[in-house]
Structure 1
Amino acid sequence: MTGRSGLCLALVLSLCACTYDGGDIGNPFTRKVQWYSFIGGDDIQASCAAGSAEQVRLVYNAVWGEQVRIYEWDGGTRDLRIRVIGPGNLTGLTSDDILAPWRAVETRVPLSAEARTGLDTALAEAGGFGPPAVGLDLPSHGYYWAAATCRDGRFTFTGWRWPSDSFAAARFPALLFALDPSRAEVRPPADQTLDLQWEDDVRRGVAAPFLLSVGRNGRVR
């Protein structure tokens, strides 16, 4: 993270330490210990049972440490919850909140029944509620979507990695971005093969790539 050196490495080293407990994932210290569990939807899986409300958590990873966008909705609300995690900006540092530069920016936008149906349909078309893409690797230093959902009492974790036909064909990202007030800031996929700064950070030990994989019953690492 800009200021990505020390904090980014600390986050990566402890990403899988704890199960997500419903806390503020926008807090960098919560992310530090609960990110794997959060993105994998452990909390959604734990509450998913016959008769439970639909829950959807979509995460767009546009290179960890540069931009991560989280979109959530469920059967109990009429809002789309959006959280954006950026590279950090030390100009936002204050004595009142020393973590402010690394906190997620959160917004909520009304989600009409029509928009919700459109999102559900597009996500279903992309395989978001069906059999997971078992074995798919989702690298931190890359572009992908991850989905953790509960629908009709069935939990699914799956993903779409760029570049791929499935990533390109998915319609739900465009629908989400159209609802996102900060859509102009969305970081589009781009070739990372010549990211010399990243390669130098890895060599110096100030950045560390990590990997998620899609399993049959959830995410694996």
Structure 2
Amino acid sequence: MAVALATLTGCAAFGPTDNPVARKLTWFSYLSGDDLRDRCGADGGDRYRVVFNADYNRHVRTYDISLDPADGGGALVEARVIEATDLARLTPMDPLSAARGRTATLRLTAPQFASVIGSLSANGAFEPPATTTRLPSNGVYWLINGCRNGRWFFAVHPYPASPFTDATFLEPTRALDPNPVAFPALPPPESAPRAGMLTGNQRADAGVYFEIEANRDGVVGPTAPFGRWLPEGALAALLNR
């Protein structure tokens, strides 16, 4: 497992990818917002990354939002839904198709973008964690990072801790999502998975399982110990050797 997790952190992410192998290699870097932090303040553009994890093996939604300089305050949104592998969607020409997720793009006008950011702010989305927080991959949490007004930020809100106590915390996200896939139902607060709950045998039965630690500075520990990001095409070439 240690070797597998080291491999998963091998390259820093530069954004979401349709390649399920590349996504696993860059996932921790993507969560930590390494690419957004590197560029923050360099070009004056605001960027936001919103991740909703409802068990990494079952349902993950990601939103990458960037200001659209051609629209005077509007924004572009790339929304992605990654669900449990659905064998009914496998195709003979692309056996990984079921793990690629579904992607849709959305253009927000300046008023729409301001409304979404205002709703996220009102829900405490940009408040950094006060202490180090452990997040199990089978848990439910919201993670947000990005560059806002030239300053990088990082926030994480695990369910059922406040303010992520019920589904209303998801409402601002629904305005960002053109995907037809419904949000999953949240488990009762007392049944929500927490870090350290699974035994060794339970972890073996849970599929891909890992825990990350996060604080106000991002994901704790190295997120790309083997170097900076590789473009997806170069990464695919390496994987196919």
TM range (shorter): 0.7 to 0.9
TM-score by length of 2: 0.74
Q: Give, in angstroms, the shift of residue 186 of structure 1.
A: 0.6
Identity level (%): 30
Query: What is the alpha-carbon distance in structure 1 between the residues aligned to residue 129 and residue 150 of structure 2?
Result: 16
Q: Give, in angstroms, the shift of residue 40 of structure 1.
A: 1.1
Q: State the match for 2:71 in structure 1.
A: none
Q: Could you tell me which of 40, 44, 65 is aligned with 2:32?
A: 40
Q: Give, in angstroms, the shift of residue 134 of structure 1.
A: 3.4
What pairs with 1:137-156 in structure 2 (closer than 5 Å)? 137-156=134-153
Q: Could you tell me which of 95, 99, 105 is aligned with 2:96?
A: 99
Query: What is the alpha-carbon distance in structure 2 between the residues aligned to residue 96 and residue 102 of structure 1?
Result: 14
* Cα 1:92/1:200, change in 2 over 3 Å: farther
Q: State the match for 1:112 in structure 2.
A: 109
Task: Show structure 1 runs of 5+ residues with no match.
Answer: 1-9
Q: CA RMSD in A?
A: 3.1
Partner secondary structure for residue 30 of structure 1: helix
Partner secondary structure for residue 97 of structure 1: coil
Which residue type is aligned with residue 31 of structure 2? Answer: I
Q: Give, in angstroms, the shift of residue 19 of structure 1.
A: 1.1
Which stretch of structure 1 is more off in the superposition, 199-208 or 108-117? 199-208
Task: Show structure 2 runs of 5+ residues with no match.
Answer: 69-73, 222-241
Q: Give, in angstroms, the shift of residue 181 of structure 1.
A: 3.4
Q: Give, in angstroms, the shift of residue 172 of structure 1.
A: 5.9
* Cα 1:176/1:183, change in 2 over 3 Å: farther
Which stretch of structure 1 is more off in the superposition, 65-74 or 11-20? 11-20
Conservation of the 8 A alpha-carbon contact between 1:82 and 1:106: yes
For 1:85-143, what per-residue CA distance to the aligned partner results, in whole angstroms no more than 9, with x for missing partners? Answer: 01011222223212101001001123122221112112223444444443122221111
TM-score by length of 1: 0.80
Conservation of the 8 A alpha-carbon contact between 2:58 and 2:83: yes
* Cα 1:136/1:163, change in 2 over 3 Å: same
For 1:12-50, what per-residue CA distance to the aligned partner results, in whole angstroms no more than 9, with x for missing partners? Answer: 67332221134x523211112100001111100000026
Conservation of the 8 A alpha-carbon contact between 2:49 and 2:63: yes
What count of residue pairs does the alignment treat as equivalent? 210
